[in-house]
Amino acid sequence: MQADATEKRMRELMLAALDGDAAAYRRLLAELTRYLRPWFAKRLSPSHASHAEDLVQETLLALHTKRSTYDRSRPFTAWLHAVAHHKFVDHVRRHAIRPTVHLDDDAPIFAFDDSAHAADRRDVDAVLTEVPERTADLIRQTRIEGASIAEAAARHGISETAAKVSIHRGLKSLMNRFAGGSK
Amino acid sequence: MTNELIDRLSAELEPTPERALEKRLWLALSIGLVGTILIGPLVLDVLVGRPFGGAWGNSMFWGKLAYTIGLGTLGLIAVPALSRPDQYRIWPLLLAGALAVLALIVGTLGWMRSDWAMSVLMGGTALVCPWLIIVTAAPLLAVLLGMMRRFAPASPTMAGLAAGLLAGGFGAAAYAFYCGETSMMFMATWYSLGIALTALLGAIIGRYLLRW
């Protein structure tokens, strides 16, 4: 289960942080930010989207000042979820905001993370194993990482035309394989 | 913005001891109890004119002590159970309520056997007893609520109620040393009322003070 792996990693970071490990603490806070931002954003209407960042900060601050209330024998993600939920309810009440998701809807925080869609990235990697390695690299660099064809070609020491042909063939074969043929 | 906050917080990080919440609670209890015990000689004896050991030698003295310390202990269990964001266990409070009801039933039976004599219910101090219990409990309640501001209760009101039960129970136990009443019905009514009012006070203050 991915959630269990998240819990295990986060809890280890939290326990290290409670023992005074500042590096682990920094990593924990940075990782939590990635989960909290989309979680709050989903719960606010678009006109209040700017509040998500405030809520992330309020939650990190609460984690900091209230960290002694974390019982080390219990799941960390559940504790953090309760803190974030409390901050959200409090914020919504104080600002008289109409939330887009019902207050009692307790969708788990750790279901989504906005680190460039990790799951999508895994899918792309899996698909790209179907074409030759150099072609896969070229496609990744030009179509995902945003490099120009000239840059990608230079990196592999081939001409721009050869790179274009290679990318085109690669994409065509992937279309045939996964999309039932290109149109 | 958020990155600056992360930098600041991780620079400020200090180690948190294990069971930090419980340790803080014990510290607050020790300090607060000193204050509550001092109310005895300073206020109850000197100002109100109640000598220490008013009901020495009477079996009801031990009954009062057991009842009040029992309620206070349930409060002591309830405070940590209600001071965390991810925990909300109210069974100690429910148990305290059941204990009070039980005391009232036993008291009423005793009162019935004494043919509903008004003196059994009212004693000589019924109208001051609850107020003096609140006064005796006040230092403990203040220290407890002050310390609990560092906690993060799922419900500030319920956490305050638990603190009030803890302070009220131990406050009433301290008061019992200066109380000469010897009837079960008196204790079940007026002691319970004093402790309940202290708990209510804790809930009202907690609702605002323990917000986070």
Question: Rounded to whole angstroms, how far apart are CA atoms B140 and B25?
Answer: 11
Domain annotation covers residue B170: yes
Q: What is the pLDDT of residue A181?
A: 53
In a domain, B126, yes or no: yes
Print the domain residue range for B62. 20-209
Those residues of chain B that have pLDDT short of 70 are: none
Measured between CB atoms, which of A19, A61, A82 is closest to B15? A19
pLDDT tens string B114-165 = 999 988 899 888 889 999 999 999 999 999 999 999 999 999 999 999 999 9
Give the residue on B whose Cα is nearest the Cα of A55.
B2
Distance from CA of A170 to the nearest CA of B (A): 40
Residue B7 in any domain: the answer is no
Residue B133 in contact with residue B189, Cβ under 8 Å?
Answer: no
- Give contacts of B5 with chain A, Cβ < 8 Å: 57, 60-61
Burial-class residue B78 by CB neighbours within 10 Å (0-12, 13-18, 19+).
buried
pLDDT tens-digit readout, A101-147: 666 666 777 776 766 566 676 777 778 888 888 888 888 888 777 77
- pLDDT number for residue A119: 65
Do A69 and B152 count as a contact with CB atoms less than 8 A apart? yes
Which residue segments constitute the domains of chain A, with CATH numbers given?
2-111 (1.10.1740.10), 118-178 (1.10.10.10)
Number of domains, chain B:
1
Q: What is the pLDDT of residue A132?
A: 84
The pLDDT score that the predictor gives to residue A69 is: 95
ipTM: 0.84
CB atoms within 10 A of CB A127: 14
- Picking from B7, B14, B152, the nearest residue to A66 by CB comes out as B152
CA distance linking residue A158 with residue A75, whole number of Å: 53
Count of alpha carbons within 13 Å of A181, Cβ hemisphere only? Answer: 1
The residue of chain B nearest to residue A77, with distances taken between CA atoms, is B86
pLDDT at A183: 46
Q: Which residues of chain A have pLDDT under 50?
A: 182-183
Residue B4 within any structural domain of the chain: no
Distance in angstroms (rounded) separating the CA atoms of residues A40 and A118: 19
Kindly state whether residue B89 falls inside one of the protein's structural domains: yes
In a domain, B8, yes or no: no
For chain A positions 42-61, those within 8 Å of chain B (CB to CB) are 53, 56-57, 60-61
The pLDDT score that the predictor gives to residue A100 is: 64
Distance from CA of A7 to the nearest CA of B (A): 15
Q: B62 lies in a domain? A: yes
What does the block give as tokens for B170?
Answer: 């131990």
Query: Which pLDDT score, from 0 to 100, does residue B25 have?
Result: 96
CA dihedral B131, B132, B133, B139 (to 10 degrees): 110
Of B12, B15, B18, the CB nearest to A72: B18
Measured CA angle at B7 (ends B2, B11), to 5 deg: 145
Of B6, B16, B85, the CB nearest to A26: B6
**A82 inside 8 A of chain B by CB:** yes
Contact with chain B for residue A68, Cβ under 8 A: yes
Close Cβ partners of B125 (under 8 Å, ≥ 6 residues apart): B179, B180, B181, B190
Check: pTM over 0.95? Answer yes or no: no
Residue B27 counted as domain residue: yes
With 0-12 / 13-18 / 19 or more C-beta atoms within 10 angstroms meaning exposed / middle / buried, residue A149 is middle
Give the separation between CA B103 and CA B172, rounded to whole angstroms: 15
